[in-house]
Structure 1
């Protein structure tokens, strides 16, 4: 690798970000045992490559602060072009998996998937069991206005799109400054394994709030720092 390549100057943003996701991050060892291993879906998940999301997030933040993106359009910096959208979704998956690991106090590994009904699979250990959960990412992007009404519309679409998805966790990224009163949301008719909200607490995205499980009577809200080391 030459000097220009090492600093990203000769790389397009897509190539630069793709290298972060392609780098050999610590892979979480495949589980030896788990529940219901005769299930075809579980066998498919076992073949996925699971990674600790923390190193990915650290390198993405290093890219954002290195100056390599200076002078580029905002849509490129924030991975919002058609070419970069897959990496935006992977970043959101990594953030959510990291936050869930902080909530549960355990390492939650994530594998990206191209299945039509989910974006990623999370895996963790509970005692001597291995648990899996497919995750579908949704977002309220910053250019969609504001308010609980938009969030309710997103939830209503989930009721139609996933009428019988009791094993699916849906995570909605609130990519805007908004105040949410969970008591104002109509969650009736949802048949999901879990529903979570998460979003940055500040403009620098140094602190992140996660709220959920909204389908549980024990739903709570917690705030965690973005990982730097």
Structure 2
């Protein structure tokens, strides 16, 4: 059994995408980041960077004590290695998946997050920041679009954790949508993943956990999400 500490954000969706594809037994432990659950001592014990998601695997492969893992990319790698699914077992294929997983973790996710912050959540518009991150996200979408030429998925013909990592970060902000018209391959790839039954189950899980998703955040929620830098 896996405990999934979760809130329906792009990083949270990555893990439910994997769990729903593999039918692993898991229990959802909501971490309401708008209320500050991520700063609770019991959560910091497994996720010391006070970010979500995290997991605790109560049945690790070595048969030992439960294993906790934080950081969405590390969780995807852990689960892929545990199940030997959605990651190639040959060294060359594994390198490709790892490259694009870390590309998302170091580029697509953070840059799209900054795009969303300055377009959706910032208290006042900052034109330089909006232009900077819009152009960078468009550049990254171009990188992904070129990568998908002649490939069904990012690493080749098979769906992998690289796709699960990237998919939730494609246009996640309904209040500030990006124009995907120039990226026909990204749109084709995105539609193929959206049609997977496991994807639909994963996103339905998010709606169950937070029915208010998409509603404007209160000033207190913004203070918690964007103003708390350390735990007292």
Fold agreement, TM-score > 0.5: no
**TM-score, normalization: structure 1?**
0.33
**TM-score, normalization: structure 2?**
0.33
More strand by share: 1
More helix by share: 2
